[in-house]
């Protein structure tokens, strides 16, 4: 193994920490130096991620690559085990990609009380947590990275946020902390209750997935899954745990909202795919109908919530609840098809909603308000920004040819034939409800577009000087817009990476008579279950 | 005649090396007293240097003893120097050393007796050091009193301050009451088992493992545990703590909430684990229900009351009550596992208590150090006086944030690992009662963040209320104390193996 392969992921995770430490040493007044260090750090991290992408063996996406496994806390048998496979790779790429753009965007957009030094240090620490969560293969390590993101986001909302920031920040923190506490109890229960053949008790996610809950009675499985469910569902957030999200999003500064929507929410769904489903497949089968139910409630509730909003950012926040509902619905089908769609949905939602929050931030910056009743005529005053908003609204409502489509449509489709012997009639009912949700999504997004971009500016802003897209904004936005188009046209950019990994690891235990014929092209190195691993191709 | 009689008493084997740490402490005490007599008043601050050097000197024999590696048993097993005892002796001595660092300027600048202060501090530390090795009810009781009596005086050390006097008297009365209860319980234990030795042949543990819990022992354990509950300020025996903590000089409060509380916990480990658990865990049902209730009440009421505090010292007092509850959780877990027929799981649970104590010591001392530093300028301990500290002294604000986040158990500061090993012990025990306690602890660790976040929000989210923006001057010893605590909290948070290994060696 060459030098880079054994260090790549460690670099991707900890280079931002080094950058944060360097930033700490620079005096507060030297803002340019601080911004440059932050930019170089995030670019270097992205560089290492790209190098990882380049050296990744796409023929074996279901195998963990770039694996490092060192002793960390011997006494509790926890390891520093990091690795990526086809499921983590897109998320890792998304995370290091978006962070760079956030640094660029914030270049001349630091919200009050300014202080770029503290802001960028928090941003870099946040990146450590996000990247780390996506590569961790040890439950304790996962837990630590999962938690590291809390404090920086707490401060971002609490210091740079809107008028109601204190309430929003503490609410965000307490909700997530409560979930993590239960999640930790479940992790420990997995350690002590699962006896991996030949290994014994372990926190290693790979080994635990191989054991797939062996030796656990069903009731215990259900309980442990319940703890994991609450922990991850709060983060996603699923109905009824979503109430922290609109507050946090509305109050957070633009960059905070973007990172929250693009990456932090994905930590929850990623947890389901990476931990809850493969480690406790039997419990997942029992929980799946309920997860599906909460998902469709979330889809409809989020959409109706959007229609009731008067604040642009809050509307986008509620649309996140709906979109994450589609992601969770895909996961709850327990099919390769649905989970692939979910991962695609995670990336697409990250790009599109992140972009929408960027625009909302710039609208706020220009008009000083996000109230839909006071906005209007963006296309007249800042036509470029108006068109970008329109483009993103189209992408978000799932227009074919743009990224949003490939997250939403296959997720709905996958409910037609759920895996794991789940009830077909039930999931087909979900399918109908979710389809209604897509119509509502078109409704609220077009309604928002109409009120913000169309018409003529309101009298109070008629003579206001509105900046159209600035050069920093172009630099931050163009890559996202290009990716939205690219992924819309070539969805295989992601599906090809995730497919084998999903079918071999996550969906394998749920193969049932309902699912379609076996695909010949599958490479499962050490399949945890039968050789007969299935994959749904197309509708 | 008398002389002839004493000649027949065999001289016990005396291992000077094993006693060296304690002897260094005694020697330091004596030197401090004499130096205080000889030095002129304006030179009397030098007693603090002597105390500090003596404390560091006591660490040397601990290191050599740890290096030599074998357990030393003296006086028929009444006094033992093993890894467990050494780890705790080192902890007590370092905690006292940090207390001295906190006190130098506080005591030096105030109207206090200086030599006596360090003398009393050292006596209490000596009691703790003996406590770590005590394996006999009588030794244990004497050590506990040696810890307590100097702290009664220290709590009232602001001699012209009524609150401080009240603190001392309250602490004294409660301390005496708890000692009486404990002694009564111990006498019953002796009456039933016929032994004062905790472990070994003809000891309490050998009696218990043969006979199991007899009703009278349960009563005796209950009385003793109530006594200990006062010492470690567990709910409902905690009400002295907030008043005493608020009234006492702040370095003394730091000492009480860390070292002295730890002394109580070590006594509890000794009696519960060595006397009433080993070798087969049969007697555990005599005490785990009591500890279960104490743990659940301390966590819940400590946290809920802390939510309402506006004074940071009182808040930290209630937080230390709650943290004490978290520390009692692995105790209960060990007992549950033992009564359930899995005594093997208890060692890990007990090492969780030790790890929790070590981490708690670092973060709580650090928090008090910052409180002392901030109070040097504001002369106030109200949480509102922390408003906008971020703009006046960003360094102090960040450090305080680290300590509070660590106390709340947020990674990657050491506190997460303390909480982790606590939950680990609970899930390992695995019965319904254990899980129930685990859920109480989980909910409480969320509530705890709410009040730990209040000073953080005041420091960082609020704007300063005063116009005075001059920097806060931190004297060197105080700076050293803060730096030391931060280093421990961060290093252990990232690489917990350091403390985890100590905990593992101890059991």
Q: Give the tens place of pLDDT for each residue, A105-149.
A: 988 878 878 888 889 999 999 999 999 999 999 999 999 999 999
Query: pLDDT averaged over chain A?
Result: 87
Residues B245, B252: Cα–Cα separation, whole Å: 8
DSSP A47-98: HHHHHHHHHS-GGGTTS-EEEEEEEEEGGGTEEEEEEE-TTHHHHHHHHHHH
Nearest CB neighbour to A148, from listed B411, B427, B460? B411
> Residues A195-244: pLDDT tens digits?
888 888 889 998 888 888 777 888 889 999 999 999 999 998 898 899 99
A→B contacts (Cβ < 8 Å), by residue, are: 72-76, 140, 143-144, 147-148, 150-151, 154-155, 158-159, 165-166, 169-170, 173-174, 177-178, 181-182, 184-185, 188-189, 191-193
DSSP states of B378-426 as a string?
A: H---BGGGGTTHHHH-HHHHHHHHHHHHHHHT-TTSTHHHHHHHHHHHH
- Other beta carbons within 10 angstroms of residue A425's beta carbon come to 7
Residue A526 confidence class, pLDDT cut points 50, 70, 90:
low
Give average pLDDT by consecutive 10-residue segment, chain B, 507 residues. 62 80 94 90 85 94 88 85 92 95 87 87 95 92 92 88 88 90 92 87 83 83 88 86 89 92 91 82 83 93 92 92 94 88 84 93 94 87 86 89 93 90 90 91 91 90 79 88 94 88 82
Question: How confident is the model at residue A468, as a pLDDT?
Answer: 84
Note the pLDDT of residue A518: 46
Judge: B427–A75 Cβ closer than 8 Å, yes or no: no
Question: Is a pLDDT exceeding 60 seen at residue A524?
Answer: yes
SS3 content of chain B, % helix, strand, coil (to 5): 80, 0, 20
d(CA A321, CA A365): 25
**Which tokens go with B364?**
């709580």
Which tokens sit at A210?
């191989």
Phi-psi group of A346: left, alpha or beta (phi > 0 → left; psi -120 to 50 → alpha; rest → beta): alpha
Q: Considering only CB atoms, which chain B residues are within 8 Å of A165?
A: 461
Residue A515 has pLDDT above 60, yes or no: no
Q: pLDDT, tens digit, for every residue of A234-277?
A: 998 898 899 999 999 999 999 999 999 999 999 999 999 999 99
**Using the beta-carbon criterion (under 8 Å), do A151 and B416 form an inter-chain contact?**
no
Q: What are phi and psi of B79, to 5 degrees?
A: -135, 125
Say if residues A268 and A232 touch (Cβ distance below 8 Å).
yes
A302-361 confidence digits (pLDDT tens): 999 999 998 999 999 999 999 999 999 999 999 888 999 999 999 999 999 999 999 999
Check residues B11 and A442 and name the one with the higher pLDDT: A442
Cis peptide before A240 (omega within 30 of 0): yes
B504 to chain A: closest CA residue: A75
Give the Cα separation of B282 and B140 in Å (integer).
23
CB atoms within 10 A of CB B377: 19
The yes-or-no verdict on residue A367 having pLDDT over 70 is yes
pLDDT attached to residue B141: 92
CA distance B103 to B116: 13
pLDDT for A517 equals 44
Quick one: pLDDT band at residue A530, thresholds 50, 70, 90? very low
Q: A162-192: string of b/e by CB count within 10 Å (b at 16+)? A: beebbebbbbbbbbbbbbbbbbbbbbbbbbe
> What is the rounded CA–CA span in Å between residue A166 and residue A65?
42
The answer to whether A381 touches A466, Cβ cutoff 8 Å, is: yes
pTM above 0.90, yes or no: yes
Is B439 an interface residue toward A (CB < 8 Å)?
Answer: yes
The whole-angstrom separation of Cα A239 and Cα A228 is 16
Q: Is B424 on the interface with A (CB under 8 A)?
A: yes
How many interchain CB pairs under 8 A, A with B? 85
Phi/psi for A353 (5° steps) reads: -70, -35
CB-closest option in B421, B446, B496 to A178 = B446
SS3 content of chain A, % helix, strand, coil (to 5): 70, 5, 25
Of A75, A148, A189, the CB nearest to B427: A189
* DSSP annotation string for A290-304: HHHHHHHHHHHHHHH
Q: What distance in Å separates residue B430's CA from the closest CA in chain A?
A: 8
pLDDT of residue A539: 35
Which residue of A73, A132, A138, A187 is the best one to mutate when testing the B interface, meaning the one whose CB has the most B CBs within 10 A?
A73
Q: What is the pLDDT of residue B4?
A: 62
Which of B232, B283, B240, B222 has the alpha carbon at shortest distance from B259?
B232
pLDDT at residue number A47: 93
What sign for the dihedral angle of Cα A502, A504, A510, A511? positive
Which residues does chain B have within 8 Å of residue A166's beta carbon, measured at their own beta carbons? 457, 461
pLDDT at A512: 57
Partners of B421 on chain A (C-beta within 8 Å) are 76
On the question of pLDDT at A536 being above 70, the answer is no
Please list every residue in chain A whose beta carbon sits closer than 8 Å to the beta carbon of residue B496.
73
Which is it for the CA torsion A268, A269, A270, A274, positive or negative? positive
Burial class (CB in 10 A: 0-12, 13-18, 19+), A532: exposed
Q: Is the dihedral of CA B256, B259, B262, B266 positive or negative?
A: negative
Q: Nearest 5°: CA angle at B71, between B69 and B75?
A: 150
Predicted pLDDT of residue B382: 87
Best residue in A14, A17, A28, A76 for a mutation probing chain B (most B CBs within 10 Å)? A76
A78-84 and A65-73 beta bridge pairing: antiparallel
CB-based burial, A66-98: b 16+ in 10 Å, e otherwise: bbbeeebbebbbbbbbbbbbbbbbbbbbbbbbb
For position A422, what pLDDT does the model report? Answer: 85
Q: Cβ contacts (< 8 Å) between B417 and chain A: which residues?
A: 73
How confident is the model at residue B464, as a pLDDT? 83
Torsion of CA B399, B400, B405, B406, to 10 degrees: 70
Cis preceding-peptide flag for A248 (omega within 30 of 0): no
> How much is the pLDDT for B5?
61
Quickly count: other Cβ atoms within 10 Å of residue A463's Cβ: 7
Decide: helix, strand or coil at residue B198.
Answer: coil
Residue numbers in B near A181 (CB within 8 A): 442-443, 445-446
A293 band by pLDDT with thresholds 50, 70 and 90: very high
Residue A183 corresponds to which tokens in the numbers above? 């999640």
Residue A7 belongs to what H/E stretch? helix A3-25
Work out the pLDDT band at A84, boundaries 50, 70, 90. Answer: very high
Q: Quick check: B504 contacting A, CB < 8 Å?
A: yes
Please report residues of A whose CB lies closer than 8 A to that of B410. 147, 150-151, 177
Measured in whole angstroms, the distance separating CA B126 from the mean position of its chain's CA atoms is 14
């Amino acid at each position: 193994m060459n030098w880079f392969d054994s260090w790549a992921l460690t670099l991707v995770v900890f280079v931002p920490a080094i950058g944060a430490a360097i930033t700490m040493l620079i005096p507060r007044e030297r803002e340019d130096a601080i911004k440059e260090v932050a930019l170089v750090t995030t670019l270097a991290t992205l560089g290492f991620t790209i190098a990882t992408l380049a050296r990744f063996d796409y023929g074996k996406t279901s195998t963990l690559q770039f694996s490092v496994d060192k002793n960390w806390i011997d006494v509790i048998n926890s390891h520093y085990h990091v690795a990526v496979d086809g499921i983590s790779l897109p998320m890792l790429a998304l995370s290091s990609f978006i962070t760079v753009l956030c640094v660029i965007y914030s270049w001349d957009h630091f919200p009050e009380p300014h202080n770029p030094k503290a802001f960028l240090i928090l941003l870099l620490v946040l990146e450590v947590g996000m990247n780390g969560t996506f590569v961790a293969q040890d439950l304790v390590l996962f837990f630590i990275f999962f938690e590291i993101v809390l404090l920086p986001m707490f401060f971002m909302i609490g210091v740079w946020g809107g008028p109601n920031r204190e309430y929003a920040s503490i609410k965000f923190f307490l909700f997530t902390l409560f979930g993590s506490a239960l999640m930790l109890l479940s992790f420990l229960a997995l350690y002590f209750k699962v006896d991996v053949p030949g290994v014994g008790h372990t926190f290693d996610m790979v080994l635990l997935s191989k054991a797939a809950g062996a030796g656990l009675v069903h009731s215990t499985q259900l309980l442990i899954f319940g703890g994991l469910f609450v922990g991850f569902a709060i983060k996603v957030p699923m109905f009824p745990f979503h109430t922290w999200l609109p507050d946090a999003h509305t109050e957070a500064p633009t960059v905070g909202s973007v990172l929250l929507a693009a990456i932090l929410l994905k930590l929850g769904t990623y947890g389901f795919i990476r931990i809850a489903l493969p480690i406790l497949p039997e419990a997942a089968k029992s929980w799946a109908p309920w997860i599906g139910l909460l998902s469709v409630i979330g889809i409809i509730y989020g959409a109706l919530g959007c229609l009731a909003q008067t604040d642009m950012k809050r509307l986008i926040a509620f649309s996140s609840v709906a979109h994450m509902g589609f992601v969770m619905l895909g996961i709850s089908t327990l099919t390769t098809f649905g989970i692939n769609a979910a991962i695609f949905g995670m990336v697409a939602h990250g790009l599109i909603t992140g972009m929408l929050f960027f625009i909302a931030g710039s609208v706020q910056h220009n008009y000083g308000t996000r109230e839909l009743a006071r906005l209007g005529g963006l296309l007249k005053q800042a036509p470029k920004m108006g068109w970008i908003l329109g483009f993103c609204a189209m992408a978000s409502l799932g227009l074919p040819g743009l990224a949003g489509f490939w997250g939403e449509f296959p997720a709905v489709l996958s409910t037609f034939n759920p895996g794991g012997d789940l009830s077909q009639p039930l999931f087909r009912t979900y399918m109908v409800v979710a389809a209604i949700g897509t119509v509502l999504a078109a409704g609220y997004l077009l309604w928002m577009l109409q009120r913000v971009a169309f018409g003529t500016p309101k009298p109070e802003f008629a003579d206001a000087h509105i900046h159209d897209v600035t050069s920093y904004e172009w630099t931050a936005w163009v890559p996202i817009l290009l990716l939205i188009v690219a992924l819309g046209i070539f969805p295989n950019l992601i599906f090809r990476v995730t497919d084998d990994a999903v079918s071999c690891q996550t969906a394998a235990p749920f193969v049932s008579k309902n699912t379609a014929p076996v695909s010949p092209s599958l490479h499962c190195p050490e399949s945890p279950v039968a050789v007969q691993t299935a994959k749904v191709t197309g509708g | 005649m008398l002389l002839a009689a004493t000649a027949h008493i065999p001289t016990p084997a005396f291992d000077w090396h094993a006693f060296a740490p304690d002897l260094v402490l005694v020697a330091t005490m004596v030197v401090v007293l004499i130096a205080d007599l000889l030095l002129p008043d304006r030179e009397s601050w030098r007693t603090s240097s002597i105390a500090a050097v003596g404390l560091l000197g006591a660490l040397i024999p601990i290191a050599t003893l740890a290096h030599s590696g074998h357990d030393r048993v003296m006086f028929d097993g009444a006094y033992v120097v093993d890894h467990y005892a050494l780890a705790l002796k080192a902890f007590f001595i370092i905690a006292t050393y940090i207390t001295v660092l906190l006190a130098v300027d506080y005591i030096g600048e105030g109207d206090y007796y200086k030599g006596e202060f360090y003398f009393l501090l050292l006596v209490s530390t000596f009691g703790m050091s003996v406590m770590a090795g005590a394996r006999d009810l009588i030794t244990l009781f004497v050590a506990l009193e040696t810890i307590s009596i100097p702290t009664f005086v220290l709590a009232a050390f602001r001699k012209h301050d009524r609150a401080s006097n009240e603190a001392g008297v309250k602490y004294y009365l409660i301390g005496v009451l708890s000692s009486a209860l404990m002694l009564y319980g111990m006498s019953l234990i002796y009456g039933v088992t016929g032994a004062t030795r905790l472990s070994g042949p003809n000891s309490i543990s050998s009696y218990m493992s043969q006979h199991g819990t007899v009703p009278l022992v349960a009563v005796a354990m209950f009385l003793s545990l109530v006594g200990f509950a006062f010492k470690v300020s567990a709910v409902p025996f905690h009400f002295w703590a907030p008043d005493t903590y608020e009234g006492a000089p702040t370095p003394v409060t730091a000492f009480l909430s860390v070292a002295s509380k730890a002394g109580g916990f070590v006594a509890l480990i000794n009696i519960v684990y060595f006397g009433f658990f080993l070798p087969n865990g049969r007697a555990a049902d005599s005490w785990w229900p009591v500890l279960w209730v104490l743990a659940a009440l301390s966590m819940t009421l400590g946290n809920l009351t802390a939510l309402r505090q506006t004074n940071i010292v009182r808040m930290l007092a209630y937080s230390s009550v709650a943290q004490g509850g978290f520390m009692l959780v692995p105790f209960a877990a060990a007992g549950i596992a033992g009564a359930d027929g899995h005594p093997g799981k208890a060692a890990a649970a007990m090492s969780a208590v030790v790890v929790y104590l070590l981490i708690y010591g670092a973060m709580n001392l650090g928090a008090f150090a910052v409180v002392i530093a901030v109070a040097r300028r504001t002369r106030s301990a109200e949480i509102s006086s922390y408003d906008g500290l971020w703009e006046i002294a960003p360094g102090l604000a960040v450090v305080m944030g680290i300590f509070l986040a660590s106390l709340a158990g947020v990674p990657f500061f050491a506190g997460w690992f303390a909480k982790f090993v606590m939950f680990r012990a609970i899930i390992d025990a695995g019965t319904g009662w254990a899980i129930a306690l685990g859920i109480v602890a989980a909910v409480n660790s969320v509530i705890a963040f709410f009040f730990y976040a209040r000073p953080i929000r005041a420091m960082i989210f609020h704007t300063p209320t005063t116009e005075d923006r001059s920097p806060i001057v931190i004297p060197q010893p105080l700076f050293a104390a803060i730096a030391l605590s931060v280093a421990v909290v961060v290093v252990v948070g990232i690489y917990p193996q350091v403390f985890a290994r100590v905990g593992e060696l101890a059991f």
